[in-house]
Each structure stands twice: as structure tokens, then as C-alpha cells.
Amino acid sequence: MRPSRTAALFFILGAGLVPWTLLLADRLPSRKIAHHWDVAWVGLDVALAVILVATGFAVLRRSPARRSLAAAAGTLVLADAWFDVVTASTTDERWLAVTLAVLVEIPLAVLCFVLARPEPTG
């Protein structure tokens, strides 16, 4: 696919999410009992562990894949932090989630994104 078509696809998908997000904001309940809540969280943490370990190996081996893996790891870390904070059910849980986000997860994500940057040429 040509870059201009690929870019157009992403613009259309991003723009298409706007009405969908507004619809969800209007229709989703603020509370819901979720079946398999444990599977959702364990699955996210397993994916996060796998991508972090894979990033570590790629960095150690100086693999070209390290940048993509680091970008994916940073994204998953931020997603995990977001969901930890917004799904905390008590004030103590929320403070713990915010503290971990600020002291651990956000700095780790920044490190991942720094690792994901292309090396300067020259």
C-alpha cells in the first residue's frame, strides 16, 4: 500500500473513532460487573511482561526490532497505568495507582519511547 493511502486510512480510522467515542461516552454505564475481570488483568500483565522481556533481549542483542518492541512496551505500560488509575475502586487503591504511575510506569514508558527513537545519523 502506498504511503499516501496508508496515511489516509489512518486519518479515516482516527476520525471515525470520534463519533464512536461520543456514542460510548453517552451510552456506557459508569458501573458494570465484568465477567472474567481477572483474565483481562492477568492477560494485560502477561502481555506487558512478555513485551518488556522481549525489549530487554532486543536491546541486549542490539536487534533492529528493539525500537518497535520498546514503542509497544511504552504504549502498554501507559495503558496499564491508565486502567489501574481509572478502575481503582477505593481512595487507597487510587492513590497507590497514581503513585505507581508517577514513580514507575510513566518514567518507564518515557525510557521505552527514548529507546524507540531512531539513532542519529552522521
pLDDT at 34: 87
The fraction of the chain above a pLDDT of 90, given in percent, is 86
Kindly state the cell numbers that stand for 103. 514513580
pLDDT at 91: 96
pLDDT for the residue numbered 96: 97
Task: Specify the pTM.
Answer: 0.86
Amino acid 31: pLDDT: 86
Spatial neighbors of 110 by CB under 8 A, at least 6 apart, are 74
DSSP string, 12-33: HHHHHHHHHHHHHHHHS-S---
**Is 29 a residue whose pLDDT tops 80?**
yes
**pLDDT above 80 (res 122):** no
Cα–Cα dist 69/82, whole Å = 20
